[in-house]
Copies of this chain bind each other. A is one copy, B any other.
Amino acid sequence: MAQKTDPPVSTVSEEPAWKQRAIERSTKAAKLRAEQRVERFLDAAQAIITEKGTTDFTVQEVVDRSRQSLRSFYQHFDGKHELLLALFEDALRRSADQIRAAADGQTDPLEQLRVAVHLLFELCRPDPAAQRPLFTDFAPQLLLSHPAEVKVAHSPMLSLFTELITGAEAAGELRSGLTPRRLAALTMQTVMFNAQSSGPADAEGANSLTADEVWEFCSHGFAGK
């Protein structure tokens, strides 16, 4: 994209430094604007989601709401899935922070884990009244279309659980033959998935699972030996 009339002295790597700077300056503004636009799309989508409690929004809605154009949308996002992914990642990161904060309130490693599991469960459960049908909702869709990206999005949460479990291990509270990371992955997914299929918080009677039950399961399994 830039190589035609260069004096043969400069190597490719340190090209024309001044030119780079010039380009950069020229670029910076654009980049900034781009970021703002992306932000606007993200905010609009977020607003719509929390507003109508579902992730079934249309790209057009987001575009209208953000007072931008379809053209612009597709120039900044590879498609709707990227938007979802971005929101998903964000929500997950935030949730991880929230859970970490809650866990910090405890001193006993196992208690920290218990609190984390409980909170994660509540956050993932599809609660119409809550403000984040977020990852609880479109995680499945994305899991189908872009499993790799979802894995990436999960990483903050996975890190958190790995930390917590490592802590428990250090305190001698574990005995599993699995590595902390594996345990973390299993626990996380078990909690998230079971929360999702456990229906709304109120559901009739004894049907749906509770956070306590999931905790009991994750911490002890079913074997009694």
Copies in the complex: 2
A214 and chain B: residue at smallest CB distance: B186
Measured as residues with beta carbon below 8 angstroms from the partner, the interface class of chain A is: 35 or more
Contact indicator A224/B176 (Cβ below 8 Å): yes
- CB-defined contacts of A140 to chain B, threshold 8 Å: 140-141, 143-144
Decide: B178 and A216 in contact? CB cutoff 8 A: yes
With a cutoff of 8 Å between Cβ atoms, the chain B residues found around residue A196 in the complex are 143
Partner of A199, one of B147, B213, B224: B147
Name A208's closest neighbour in chain B (CB-CB). B185
Residues of A within 8 A of B (CB): 110, 113, 137, 140-141, 143-144, 147, 151, 165, 168, 172-178, 182-183, 185-187, 189-190, 193-194, 196-197, 199, 209, 213-214, 216-225
A147-B199, A193-B193, A217-B221 given; 13 more Cβ-contact pairs under 8 Å: A110-B223, A140-B141, A141-B141, A147-B197, A151-B197, A165-B222, A172-B224, A176-B224, A185-B209, A186-B194, A186-B209, A186-B214, A187-B217
